[in-house]
Amino acid sequence: MFEPITEEILAIADNAVIWYYDPAQGIPEDERFFADLSQMQLFVIPVTAKFIYQDNPARTVEFQYAIDHHIPVLPLMQEPGLEQDFNRVCGDLQFLDKYAAQTDPTTLPYEDKLKKFLSSVLVSDELARRVRAAFDAYIFLSYRKKDRAYAQQIMRLIHASEFCRDIAIWYDEFLTPG
């Protein structure tokens, strides 16, 4: 299920990084997992009958984390006819429905809606260039994955100093291939 969604997103936002874990391995409940979630610009939730009707970590942990921490959520309907139950269980959230054109031929194509949503939420290359140009200096912070929480504390300490506010700190979360 994740591969088609990944392909759709990367076809539009080729500078995006997509992260998900293998649910067969169980949800990691440690600090690193929640630190990773806190770095997300967007949560894309594939909405299926299983997501709505069965208790699962995607809804009870990840979705709830995004809502609680005000991270944008993009629910993508993967099965027709789930709209009302989704709103009943998850609240009145805007979602994208691949199957809307089957019932309303006047609706905008799903791909166009997805492109518009992603461009409104994700940082474009141009905006990233302008943000980088606003900084006077750059630091690359190298650390072991298990020390990510400490690295984040160091970043907060650096930026707490008035002298260092114009310093951009780059670390592995912001590296792009190439």
> pLDDT of the chain along its 178 residues, tens only?
678 888 888 888 877 777 777 667 766 667 778 888 888 888 888 999 999 999 888 898 889 999 998 888 889 999 988 999 999 999 888 888 888 877 777 888 888 888 888 887 777 667 777 777 777 787 888 887 778 788 888 888 888 888 887 888 877 655 544 4
pLDDT at 144: 79
pLDDT at 88: 93
Question: Domain-by-domain residue ranges, the chain?
Answer: 2-122, 126-174
Claim: this prediction has a pTM higher than 0.85: no
Q: Which residues pair with 138 in a beta bridge?
A: 168
Give the Cα-Cα-Cα angle 20, 22, 24 (nearest 5 degrees): 155
pLDDT at 52: 95
- What is the sign, positive or negative, of the torsion defined by CA atoms of 118, 124, 127, 133? positive
Q: Which residue has the tokens 């690295």?
A: 151
CB 90 within 8 A of CB 59: yes
* DSSP characters over the chain: -HHHHHHHHHHH-TT-------GGG----SHHHHHHHHT-S-EEEEE-HHHHHS--HIIIIIIHHHHHTT--EEEEE-STT-HHHHHHHH-S---EETTHHHH-TTSPPHHHHHHHHHHHHSPPHHHHHHHHHT-SEEEE----GGGHHHHHHHHHHHHHSGGGTTEEEE-GGG----
